[in-house]
Amino acid sequence: MPKIEIDEKTCKSCGLCIEACPKKCIAFSKEVNKLGLPWAEFVKPQDCIGCGFCYQMCPDVCIEVYK
Amino acid sequence: MKKIFSRPESLTNAPFSYCPGCGHGIAHRLVAESIDELGIRERTIGVAPVGCAVFAYNYFNLDMTEAPHGRPPAAATGIKRTNPDKIVFAYQGDGDIAAIGMSEIVHAANRGENITVIFINNANYGMTGGQMAPTTLLGQVTQTTPFGRDPKREGYPIKVCELLSSLEAPVYLERVAIYDPKQVLNAKRAIKKAFANQVENKGFSLVEIISNCPVDWGMTVMDSIKWVKDVFIKTFPLGIIKDKTR
Ligand SMILES: Cc1ncc(C[n+]2csc(CCOP(=O)(O)OP(=O)(O)O)c2C)c(N)n1
Ligand code: SF4
Ligand code: SF4
């Protein structure tokens, strides 16, 4: 099953990956990181198709995609 | 399971200083991926601008330097002419390229320097807090056009690609955007081509990336993306402006 890993420490909470994911696998965390921001969390791993759209849109290169 | 997308080797591990959602980060990654894929990392030299990308030398895992405001094409010319076997690129904002540096870009393009220019058009001066740039749209509110840009007072938006296309020498000029994954992949194709042209000694290539500057535009990230799509690219149409390599 494809999966992504998001670096919660460097995520700036812009939301571009959340918007880009066609399967709505990503959502903001309830907690905040050291930047004081909710980070993007991989919440629906079962739905991920490994398209990499989240990776393409992340301006901070926080996402790795496995397939 | 294989890692199919991850940080390109041509980027360092330094976190970017850009605002959340800023297009500079995507542009950096696309440049780095293109350099990795062309196998030219060990022989590429980049020239950072003055502007938000002033620290680009910390972010690219390449030999880098930084030029005074607007001068990257002149610095890149010198580097390339003295090191013709190196791949040299200038990375510039719209204030850098189209205001203070207009002369440098026009003459580098006119001489047909065999360099690659990556031009981030975000319709304002980002680093200094959102003043009008030559690329600011008509009616656009900035710190220095509080009632919107009025062509009678501030002139019209300058289209750098179209302007350079009137010159004989440039071989490749394309305008791209990065507002969704499809556009990002298309931008990657253009950037990679602009570097490949130099590897093949074809001459001067420039890719203009229509980008977003959410904080200085006073917008949320999502609204800034929408504004690029609905408004910005109406003034700056996307596509190949000139391609003499075909
Ligand atoms: C000679 C000189 N004049 C003015 C400045 C002030 N200054 C710093 S960044 C900047 C504008 C940068 O805008 P742009 O090129 O659009 O890049 P952005 O920050 O939007 O990426 C200006 C005018 C300077 N650093 N040097
Ligand atoms: S695109 Fe990147 S920085 Fe933005 S919310 Fe997603 S992981 Fe965080
Ligand atoms: S001010 Fe604008 S161009 Fe500069 S980092 Fe922030 S969003 Fe990017």
So where are chain A's domains?
A: 3-66
Give start and end residues of each alpha helix (H) in chain A.
16-20, 53-57
Beta strands in chain B (DSSP E): 3-5, 44-48, 63-66, 87-93, 116-121, 124-125, 131-132, 172-177, 205-210, 239-243
The pLDDT value given to residue B49: 98
* Three-state secondary structure call for residue A24: coil
Tell me the CATH number at B58.
3.40.50.970
Over residues B47-60, the mean pLDDT reads 98
Q: What is the CATH number of domain A3-66?
A: 3.30.70.20
The answer to whether residue B174 scores a pLDDT higher than 90 is yes
Q: How far apart are alpha carbons B232 and B229 in whole angstroms?
A: 6
Give the pLDDT band of residue B246 (cuts 50, 70, 90): confident
The pLDDT value given to residue B91: 98
CB-CB contact of B95 with B121 (8 Å): no
The answer to whether residue B102 scores a pLDDT higher than 90 is yes
The pLDDT value given to residue B34: 98
Q: Does B126 touch chain A (CB under 8 A)?
A: no
Over residues B15-30, the mean pLDDT reads 98
What tens digit of pLDDT does each residue of B104-144 get?
999 999 999 999 999 999 999 999 999 999 999 999 999 99
Q: How distant is the Cα of A35 from the closest Cα of chain B, in angstroms?
A: 11
Strand partners, B198: none
What tens digit of pLDDT does each residue of A12-49 get?
999 999 999 999 999 999 999 999 999 999 999 999 99
Over residues B75-85, the mean pLDDT reads 98
Cα Dmax for chain A: 32
Q: Is the ipTM reported for this complex over the cut 0.95?
A: yes
Over residues B203-231, the mean pLDDT reads 98
Which residues from chain A sit within 8 angstroms of residue B181, using beta carbons? 20, 51-53, 56-57
| Domains in chain B, number | 1
- Give the closest residue (by CA) to ligand 3 atom 6: B19
- Indicate yes or no: pTM above 0.80: yes
| Amino acid making up residue B105 | I
Q: How far apart are alpha carbons B65 and B46 in whole angstroms?
A: 6
Which residue is it, tokens 């010319």? B77
Is residue B15 domain-resident?
A: no
The answer to whether residue B245 scores a pLDDT higher than 90 is yes
Is residue B3 domain-resident?
A: no
Q: How far apart are alpha carbons A2 and B161 in whole angstroms?
A: 40
Is residue B100 domain-resident?
A: yes
Is residue B215 domain-resident?
A: yes
What are the distances in angstroms from CA B110 to CA B68, B91, B102, B162, B224? 21, 18, 12, 13, 34
Domain of residue B43 covers 24-243
The pLDDT value given to residue B231: 98
Of B46, B60, B63, whose CA–CA distance to B10 is shortest? Answer: B60
Q: How distant is the Cα of B187 from the closest Cα of chain A, in angstroms?
A: 11
What does residue B91 show for φ and ψ, rounded to 5 degrees?
A: -120, 120
* B75 C-beta closer than 6 A to ligand 1: no
